[in-house]
Chains A and B, each alone.
Chain A
Amino acid sequence: DAGVIQSPRHEVTEMGQEVTLRCKPISGHDYLFWYRQTMMRGLELLIYFNNNVPIDDSGMPEDRFSAKMPNASFSTLKIQPSEPRDSAVYFCASSPGQAGYQPQHFGDGTRLSIL
C-alpha cells in the first residue's frame, strides 16, 4: 500500500509569497493531521481533520495559515503571506479509526525555507 504522500519535498521561496503544501493520506484513513517540526519546538500539531471536517485547529499559529480537505484523498496547507519564521519541516500524517488511539503514519515531509 502507498503511504502518505506529500508534495513538494522541498520549497524555497521569498518572504511574502504564498506557499501551498499538499498531502494525500493513506486510502481508508479517516483522520489527517498537519504538523510542523523545528529544532526549538519539536513536533507541533497544527490542525487535524476527521472525515474531511476540521476538528481542532488550535495549533494553527495565526490567520496566515489555512488548511482544507476538499475530499478524502487530498488536503492542503497554505501560508499567505509567508515569513522567515515559518521555515520548518511540515509533516502530514493519517490514521485509521479513533484519533489518539490508533497510530499515525507520517509522510516524508516538506522542508520549507522562507528567505
Chain B
Amino acid sequence: QKEVEQNSGPLSVPEGAIASLNCTYSDRGSQSFFWYRQYSGKSPELIMFIYSNGDKEDGRFTAQLNKASQYVSLLIRDSQPSDSATYLCAVGGSQGNLIFGKGTKLSVKP
C-alpha cells in the first residue's frame, strides 16, 4: 500500500515567521512531488511541484526534496494570515496517479 504521511496539525505560526510543512512517502519509485493548498470549502490549488533532489524556490515558497530519505517539505517564508489553509502533499509514481496525504492544517496568527 503506497502511502503519503503528513502531520495533521494544526501548525500554528506567528505572522512573518517561517512555516515548515513536512511529508514522507513510501514508494521509492516516486518521481514527482506536488504541494496543494486547500482553503476551507474550496478545491485543492497547486502551489509547487518538484522532481529533482534539492530545493526549488517560487516567491515565498520553497519545496525541498530528499529522495534518499523519502521526504519532501514546503517552507513558507514571511507567513501571512492568508496562508492559513490545509496543505496537501501529493506524490506521483509509476502507476500513473497521484497519492495524496491527508494534509496539514496551517494557522498563521496576526
Taking Cβ atoms with an 8 Å cutoff, the residues of A that contact B are 33, 42-43, 45, 48, 50, 55-56, 91, 98-109
Contacts and interface: CB of A to CB of B under 8 A. Distances in A.
A103 B97 contact: no
Contact of A43 (B32, B34, B44, B45): B44
A98 B43 contact: no
Given A42-B102, A42-B103, A43-B88, A100 B97 contact: yes
A55 B96 CA distance: 9
A43 B103 CA distance: 9
Contact of A101 (B31, B42, B45): B31
Given A103-B46, A109-B43, A43 B31 contact: no
**CB-based closest 5 A-B pairs:** A100-B92, A42-B102, A99-B96, A106-B43, A43-B100
* Most chain A CB neighbours (cut-off 10 Å) among B45, B93, B97, B102: B97
B43 A99 contact: no
B98 interface: yes
B82 interface: no
Give chain B's interface residue range (CB within 8 Å of chain A).
20 to 34
B97 A99 contact: yes
Given A43-B100, A45-B97, A101 B44 contact: no
A99 B93 CA distance: 9
Interface in B11-52: 31-32, 34, 42-46, 49, 51
Interface of B: 31-32, 34, 42-46, 49, 51, 88, 90, 92-103
A101 B103 CA distance: 20
Contacts of A101: 31-32, 51, 92
A27 to B, nearest CB: 18
Given A55-B96, A56-B96, A106-B43, A100 B101 contact: no
B103 to A, nearest CB: 7
Nearest to B101: A42
A56 B95 contact: yes
Nearest to A39: B102
